[in-house]
Amino acid sequence: MTVTEDFCVREGEPAWVSAVHSIKKDDGSIYYITTRSYRASSNDGYMWMDAFMIDHDTLKNVSVYDAGDDLDECGLEINYRISDWYYSTNGEGWGWLFEYDVKDKNLYVPQTVFVDETIPIISDRYRVYHFNGKGFVDKGESAHKGLHKSLVNYYRLACYFRTKNYLVRVDQIDEKGTLRYASWKSTHDMSRQPDIVIQGGIYDKENNTYRFTNDGYDYVVCYSEDKPISEGIYEHHEFLLVRKGCIIVLKEEKESPNDE
């Protein structure tokens, strides 16, 4: 029977476990890493990674970095604003956090930034740790691993979503708030060369929209409408809107992951 010893405890444990990976070391021992999440309040989230090994019949909490016994650094942790990441990625970004690429043996630890809030937001930039057979080695910071090389320079992800025919990404390029628009056909992903890239846009905070201009066309990301569904009850919808002057060239609704 396997028993457990005292683990390095985080605030709010027990927490929800979203992923478990078993990694074989060069010496034949097995190294287990888990991703765990905890909600401190309605909008204050924590996510971290812990490591474990089985020593004879005891499950031990060890260091994520090198599978040693230094419990002062037993985990990699972020604190973040839950609503921001959900809405910024349209609910699709949870799998990007603490992702372990089995093929490349790289672990992607999300980085956070402060943007006019007391709780940091996830930037969609990552600290990369490579497993070398003994432990994880810090390889430095990286953009989203699936993003085309022409788009890797940015400060944080502002907005990401799909419509029936398009995949859209808006990035804040620097701390000053400079924006960049990129889009692909919905059958492609972000690793492909984008079909359209527009540098420089305007964020309309009141309407929560991003507006870009290119060759006489206006691109409005997250254009919103409230549609009545019964008396006094409205349903909120958001769109990718493209128009030339007063003529609407394209209007496609944002799709949720459940629509696929």
Q: Tell me the average pLDDT across 100-128.
A: 92
Side chain identity at residue 254, one-letter code? K
HSE toward the beta carbon, residue 87, CA cutoff 13 A: 11
Q: How far is residue 126's CA from residue 144's CA, in Å, rounded to a whole number? A: 7
Token duo for residue 204:
């309309």
pLDDT at 6 over 80: no
Side chain identity at residue 154, one-letter code? Y
Residues 21-70: tens digit of each pLDDT: 999 989 898 889 889 898 888 999 999 988 888 888 888 888 877 656 55
User: Which pTM value belongs to this model?
Assistant: 0.87
- Chain centre distance of CA 106: 16
The pLDDT, as a whole number, for residue 2 is 37
The pLDDT, as a whole number, for residue 4 is 38
pLDDT at 243 over 90: yes
The pLDDT, as a whole number, for residue 1 is 37
Mean pLDDT estimate for the chain? 87
Q: Name the burial class of residue 84, with classes exposed (0-12), middle (13-18) and buried (19+) by CB atoms within 10 angstroms of its CB.
A: buried
Token duo for residue 95:
């799998």
Which helix H or strand E contains 87, and what residues bound it?
Answer: helix 82-88
The pLDDT, as a whole number, for residue 67 is 59
The pLDDT, as a whole number, for residue 57 is 82
Q: How far is residue 140's CA from residue 77's CA, in Å, rounded to a whole number? A: 16
List Cβ neighbours of 86 (8 Å cut-off, separation of 6 or more). 93
Task: Give the Å distances, CA to CA, from 97 to 14, 111, 114, 119, 260.
Answer: 19, 9, 18, 17, 22
Domain boundaries, the chain: 3-143, 152-255
Report the SS3 class of residue 253: strand
Residues 164-196: tens digit of each pLDDT: 999 999 999 999 999 999 999 999 999 999 999
Lowest mean pLDDT segment, chosen from 79-88, 130-139, 222-231: 222-231
Residue 167: count other Cβ atoms within 10 Å of its Cβ.
21
Q: How far is residue 96's CA from residue 160's CA, in Å, rounded to a whole number? A: 13
Give the rounded percent of residues in the chain with a pLDDT score beyond 70: 88
Which of 117-131, 143-157, 232-246 has the highest mean predicted lDDT (pLDDT)? 143-157
Listed residue (73, 67, 71) closest to 30, CA to CA: 67
Listed residue (257, 190, 243, 247) closest to 214, CA to CA: 243
pLDDT at 260 over 60: no
Q: Tell me the average pLDDT across 142-169.
A: 97
Give the rounded percent of residues in the chain with a pLDDT score beyond 90: 62
